[in-house]
């Protein structure tokens, strides 16, 4: 098992993650232990009150976690989210969102990661998420 390239990860989004593709989520960087993923702003992301709706931030954070996981273990199709927690910290104004994920721990069966979601217009952390991915046993 090994790292995955940004190009291959973005192709996986396009081919196998239709919701993330429809939202426009793309990875900017992926390394062994980290990833930066971007969600371009669209008007349909706004909820009452003029802020970006939480489900968009949640989806972005989960895709960032997936990028961190594949950056560590390589392309494993059945790596899946088993735990996800998010805290919404500040009201994001209409702008691109950037998620920066980092590896906390990688074991044989579980990978734990941490994600900060930033608003591109002022770099403020708008959400913080942690999650665990389950890695299928090797055949």
Residue 80's nearest CA partner among 96, 66, 91 is: 66
In whole angstroms, give the CA distance from residue 76 to residue 65. Answer: 14
Per-residue pLDDT, averaged over 2-8, amounts to: 88
Share of the chain above pLDDT 70, in %: 98
pLDDT in tens, 87-106: 999 999 899 999 999 999 99
Q: Positive or negative CA dihedral for 53, 54, 59, 65?
A: positive
Is pLDDT at 1 greater than 80 in this prediction? no
Task: Work out the mean pLDDT of the chain and round it to a whole number.
Answer: 94
- What the block records as the tokens of 44 is 């349909």
Is pLDDT at 12 greater than 90 in this prediction? yes
For the ranges 3-7, 13-17, 103-107, 121-125, which has the lowest average pLDDT?
121-125
Q: What's the pTM? A: 0.94
Burial class (CB in 10 A: 0-12, 13-18, 19+), 108: exposed
- What's the Cα-to-Cα distance from 70 to each of 40, 124, 126, rounded to whole Å? 22, 27, 25
């Amino acid at each position: 098992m090994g790292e995955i390239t940004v190009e291959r990860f973005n192709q996986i989004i396009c081919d196998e993650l239709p919701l993330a593709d429809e939202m426009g989520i793309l990875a900017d960087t992926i390394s062994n232990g980290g990833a930066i993923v971007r969600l371009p702003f669209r008007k349909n992301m706004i909820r009452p009150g003029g802020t970006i709706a939480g489900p968009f931030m949640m989806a972005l954070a989960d895709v960032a976690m997936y990028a961190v996981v594949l950056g560590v273990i390589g392309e494993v199709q059945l790596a899946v989210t088993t735990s996800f927690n998010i805290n919404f910290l500040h009201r994001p104004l209409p702008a691109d969102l950037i998620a920066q994920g980092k590896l906390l721990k990688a074991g044989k069966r579980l990978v734990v990661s941490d994600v900060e979601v930033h608003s591109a217009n002022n770099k403020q952390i708008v959400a913080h998420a942690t999650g665990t991915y389950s890695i299928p046993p090797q055949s």
